[in-house]
Chains A and B, each alone.
Chain A
Amino acid sequence: MSLQSGPMLAVSGLTTEFPLKGGSVIRAVDDISFTLAAGRTLGIVGESGSGKSVLIRSLMRILDAPGRIAAGSVVFKGRDLLRIGEREMRGIRGRQIGMIFQNPAGSLSPVATVASQFAEAMRAHERVGAAAARDRSIRALAAVGVEDSAAVLASRPYQLSGGLIQRIMIGLALVMGPDLILADEPTTNLDVTVQEQIIAALRKVQRDFGTAIIFISHDMGVISEISDDIMVMYGARAVEYGDLRSVVRTPLHPYTDGLIRSVPPADIRPGMRLQAIPGYPPDLSRLGGSCRFASRCARVRPPCEANDPALAEQAPGRLVACHFPLAVTADV
């Protein structure tokens, strides 16, 4: 992979809209900016409707209709992916940027051999002879910890376990040697022992090849297992950004704090209570001008009802979208 000055990926002001009947629009991704360097993992945490999956699909320009990118830039290795033609984009998708989705079984043909699916993934981008294809498939499978690759290549997905299928999906995402992997809830609905294998496989790939990863999850525990930096999304916006340790140790946004506190801690016992976030996530079609977390926030004050705060630097490397962020303490 090519090392260069500046980040591998720089996303700026990315905004994605879905038009509704009657002329109004839903902003599913609202003014998102971040950078990602080679060999680093950005974890994006958020719940359903927060915009995290639409964000990933916007980066790859694979939005479902009628979604459209309304503003922003996605500069990948010096090129703005939003300003290049579809033909050029096809050369990047799958080749320089690999993707892993939540439902591994649904992303593969159940009846075609694993070998043929690897060959197809490569031939979408270049001419590859049978021996070379096989050789590269074996190396990609080894990179994700699949040992008996000959047997796996000869088998068909319906014969394989969910964990093995997801590792094959990562292998497929790797076979073209991408610089960046986008992983959208790749371990959700998998057993925890399988999840552990998948995360270990991604870490190994990153260590061996310097791959950059964007890893999306609703689960703060999973995010913390793999991320260097975290972006917390809420109601289509980034509400907090920073390095993993700072964010989980001293969250600045009350929503991030609430997410961390709603995981039952190690010393919890039956009969005790969890600190729950009250209320429900916002309906993006009915946003007023207030902070979108205001109705659920214990710290809400008049300015929060008056306007929606922008993401701003609160401390070096720590960004938060809150009028009254939690204090940055020395407890790091």
Chain B
Amino acid sequence: MSDAPLLEVEGLAVTFPGAAEDVRVVDDVAFSVRTDRALGIVGESGAGKSVLLRTLTGLFRPAAGTIRFDSRDVTNARGASLKAYRRDVQMVFQNPYTSLPPGRAVQNILEEPLLIHGISRGEWQGRLDSALDGVGLSRSFLGRMPEQLSGGQRQRVAIARALVLEPRLILLDEPVSALDVSIRAQVLNLLTDLRRDRGLGFVVVSHDFSVLRFLAEDIAVMHRGQFVEQGETGAVFDHPRHEYTRRLLAAMPSIERSLARRGDIGEAGAAEEKQDV
């Protein structure tokens, strides 16, 4: 089984009803994810990244295409098989200020998925301990509420909530964008450790190339519902082939590039400055 991809997607399309005709929000997308090859999806707002992730969790029904998880076709899974799939595939959202319910203790938040999925109570404590351990929080956090936690701590709780069901694949939607800069690196390191220690598959959506360079072996560039370029992350970075990829890469703010641009503010530098408007 180790040779088969964890997740295999072919010809996936998602349409939303439009005024005149249906809009293809995800258009003919194909990829595979293995535990040793995480997929990063980069793109701008409206590209269809989040709709794609939600379709993978069964929140939206695709208009076309197939989703295979662990060699099983789950495209139109319902009832018990959908529930089993959803236990194996967990999602972490961007904003831990809105993704965690206020006024409920962390313990209650972490136990809810166990209750929903009928995990026997005898296992709960072990599951909670393991999840907290994975995100570097002590058991003392179980009695606290989200509003008593910092953004970084909240996102750790959100990741722990995804871990309690012992999933095999985690879908991460902009997992560090809402976090303070000094906290992002902690969470990125934590995700790397989790992936290695628990053999997880990752699909990571981000608008930030540098995050994906750190988290994903493969990358897909999404634009207007389509994957316009995909491949090994380093290769796409170093040799972008699609015009849109090149435009995105050029627009990424960079300390090094801005220093280089100022490095020779002679005639050439001034001329370049003129062109950039």
Among A196, A203, A261, max chain B CB count under 10 A is at A196
Binds B, one of A122-130, A172-180, A217-225: A217-225
Q: How many Å from the CB of B38 to the closest CB on chain A?
A: 7
Q: Are B183 and A264 in contact (CB under 8 A)?
A: no
Q: Are B253 and A195 in contact (CB under 8 A)?
A: yes
Taking chain B's interface residues, is the majority helix, strand, or loop, or is none over half, making it mixed? helix
Q: Chain A residues with Cβ under 8 A from B180's Cβ?
A: 47-48, 218, 281
Q: Chain B residues with Cβ under 8 A from A277's Cβ?
A: 182, 185-186
A196-B251, A207-B273, A221-B253 known; A268 and B210 CB under 8 Å?
Answer: yes
CA distance in complex: A137, B258 (Å): 31
Residue A66, interface by CB 8 Å: no
> Which residues in window 248-282 of A have CB below 8 A to B?
248-249, 255, 258-264, 266, 268-278, 280-281
Residue B90, interface by CB 8 Å: no
Q: Are B188 and A264 in contact (CB under 8 A)?
A: yes
Q: Chain B residues with Cβ under 8 A from A191's Cβ?
A: 44-45, 207
Q: How many Å from the CB of B180 to the closest CB on chain A?
A: 4
Residue A193, interface by CB 8 Å: yes
Q: Are A221 and B182 in contact (CB under 8 A)?
A: no
Interface size class of B (residues with CB under 8 A): 35 or more
Residue B53, interface by CB 8 Å: no
Q: Are A248 and B277 in contact (CB under 8 A)?
A: no
A47-B180, A200-B276, A258-B182 known; A264 and B192 CB under 8 Å?
Answer: no
Q: How many Å from the CB of B43 to the closest CB on chain A?
A: 9
A219-B253, A221-B255 known; A268 and B214 CB under 8 Å?
Answer: yes
Residue B20, interface by CB 8 Å: no
Q: Are B256 and A266 in contact (CB under 8 A)?
A: yes
Interface string of A198-240 (1 = CB under 8 A from B): 0111011001000000000011111011000000000000000
Chain A: how many interface residues by the 8 Å CB criterion? 49
Q: Chain A residues with Cβ under 8 A from B181's Cβ?
A: 47, 218-220, 259, 262
Residue B215, interface by CB 8 Å: yes
A47-B181, A48-B180 known; A271 and B196 CB under 8 Å?
Answer: yes
Q: How many Å from the CB of B48 to the closest CB on chain A?
A: 14
CB-nearest residue of chain A to B153: A280
CA distance in complex: A48, B276 (Å): 31
Q: How many Å from the CB of A202 to the closest CB on chain B?
A: 10
Closest 7 CB pairs of A and B: A221-B253, A262-B185, A276-B185, A47-B180, A191-B44, A196-B251, A274-B185
